[in-house]
Each structure stands twice: as structure tokens, then as C-alpha cells.
Amino acid sequence: MKKIKTYDNFINENSESFQMYHGVHPKTLYEYIVVLQNRKVKGFATLGFRTEEMIKNKVYAIGTIYGPGLGNFLYPGVIQYYGPIIPTANESDRAKMSWEKKFDSPKWKKYKIEGIGFYDRYKQEDYLNYVYEIDIKLKIKELDETKFKDIIYKEVNRIHRITCDNLEKNKDQFYTIGQSRERDKLLTTLGKNPEEVEYKK
């Protein structure tokens, strides 16, 4: 299997073995951006919950991200297809660190819109209140559901279910709930002072 060494090599690669699609599940209307390699799901990104303020300002929240090594491909893919995004209400520590890198990267445009954002208490989560854009052109095709639905829909649903289950089971180990009130509740339940706990680095 050909390995992806760098982000730039991946997006500039003229290879039919890697393809990016926008898909909508015909029954649930669940939307996602998916990366396939040889007709197999290698990664996908979904949309997250949107507030009224986000809808008014035409901003989306990123949802579940899956795909080892594909985050720097999937985030821009979602932005290109839908528009500016902010982090979702629930973030794993790994996702927080991923956003922190984007916050410091010159490739990403960051700005604030008043009233948009989920994080307002933990200092280390302040950058998660920002709206993100990036100027990268990617080829995203519409998913041909008659050709791929049995492979892709089932696999995305399976991976998404496993990811959510693991997130729920490992809250106490990874502090996976990032939204302030949920994080406070979790840490208090564990007998820890939320004011004194930062996410792992």
C-alpha cells in the first residue's frame, strides 16, 4: 500500500487510488466527506451541531473526524465543500491539540464572530472559539450511491459507531468531553478540581 508522506504530496498526487467524495446517506440524510483508497474507506469527516448564530453567519461546526494521517486533508475538504468551520461542542484531547496547531499555522485564516463558539471557560480552549478557513483547492466528487453505497455507507456507519462508543467509554481516561459544563461534571465526578486540570499534552 502506498503511504502518504506529506499533506502536499497527497493533494498534488494525480492518482486514481485516492479519491475524495461528498456523500449523503439516502435514509438518514447523514452527510460526510469521505476519502477512499481502492474503494475502501480510509477516512471521513462529518458535520457537527449548528446553533442559530452559526446558521445566520453561514458557519458550520466540524463533527467526527476519522482517518489516521488524514486530518489535514479532511478539515480543508469540509471547508471547501461547506464553508468556514468551528470545532464541535465535544472534542477529544487529540482534537484540541490538532486545532491548536492550526491556530498557529499561517496556512489557516482565523477570526472571531461574536456569539459563535462552544468554549468559554478553560484558558487552553480559547482558540476553539475561532472560525477557521483555508485556501486549498481539492477535488471533491459527488458520491455515486448506486456504485458505492453498500461499501461506504455500512463502513462509515460502522466506524462512526465504534468511534462514538470508544469516546463514551474512555471519558475518564482522556477527558474527551471538552465543552466546559460537561468537562466540569466529569472531573467533579472523578473527584478532581476542574480549575486545576488541563488536558494532556
> Where do the domains of the chain lie?
7-195
Q: Mean pLDDT throughout 170-199?
A: 69
Residues in a beta bridge with 33: 22, 45
60-92 residue pLDDT tens? 998 888 888 788 788 989 999 999 999 876 666
Identify the weakest region by mean pLDDT among 13-27, 32-46, 67-81, 120-134. 13-27
153-162 own/partner pairs: CB under 8 Å, 24+ apart:
153/23, 153/25, 155/40, 155/41, 156/23, 156/32, 156/34, 156/41, 156/44, 157/25, 159/41, 159/44, 159/66, 160/44, 160/46, 160/64, 160/66
Phi, psi dihedrals of residue 19, rounded to the nearest 5°: -140, 150
Report how far apart the first and last C-alpha atoms of the chain are (Å, whole number). Answer: 31
Residues across the chain: 201
What SS3 state is found at 15?
A: coil
Residue pair 110/131 in contact (Cβ under 8 Å)? The answer is: yes
Instruction: Identify which has the larger pLDDT, 161 or 178.
Output: 161
Res. 183: pLDDT tops 50: yes
This prediction's pTM: 0.78
Which pLDDT value is given to residue 176? 53
Counts for the chain of helices (H) and strands (E), in that order? 7, 8
Q: Can you tell me the distance from the alpha carbon of 110 to that of 100, in angstroms, rounded to the nearest whole number?
A: 11
